[in-house]
Amino acid sequence: DAKTTQPTSMDCAEGRAANLPCNHSTISGNEYVYWYRQIHSQGPQYIIHGLKNNETNEMASLIITEDRKSSTLILPHATLRDTAVYYCIVRVANGNQFYFGTGTSLTVIP
């Protein structure tokens, strides 16, 4: 079962930062947080992942709270092509399975 909860949908103005929250209050100490996104009728695309520390790559930043019970994905300058469903996933430690939650449908508005 999914260990994450996310808002169902969000809007963001083009060019502004998109901040997508995720709650994972039952996460275990050795479980990673992953973020993927899915554009309609395609396979999910990897964005970023982390364990304890904040992470940044060319696509996004991941902010994980100190107690690890929640995280935020930040897309610094949203574009129309960032419109997608964003999934926050806790990776099972001993089997590497991903159990997807409902995700957040992000719409970037011109």
Partner 1 sequence: GAVVSQHPSRVICKSGTSVKIECRSLDFQATTMFWYRQFPKQSLMLMATSNEGSKATYEQGVEKDKFLINHASLTLSTLTVTSAHPEDSSFYICSAIDRTRSYEQYFGPGTRLTVT
Instruction: Report the interface residues with partner 1, using CB under 8 A.
Output: 2, 32, 34, 36, 38, 41-46, 49, 87, 91, 95-103
Q: Which helix (H) or strand (E) holds 108?
A: strand 104-109
What are the backbone angles phi and psi of residue 80, rounded to the nearest 5°? Answer: -60, -30
**Whose Cβ is closer to partner 1: residue 25's or residue 102's?**
102
**Whose Cβ is closer to partner 1: residue 2's or residue 74's?**
2
Q: Which residues contact 97 (CB under 8 A, 6 or more apart)?
A: 91
**Whose Cβ is closer to partner 1: residue 62's or residue 101's?**
101
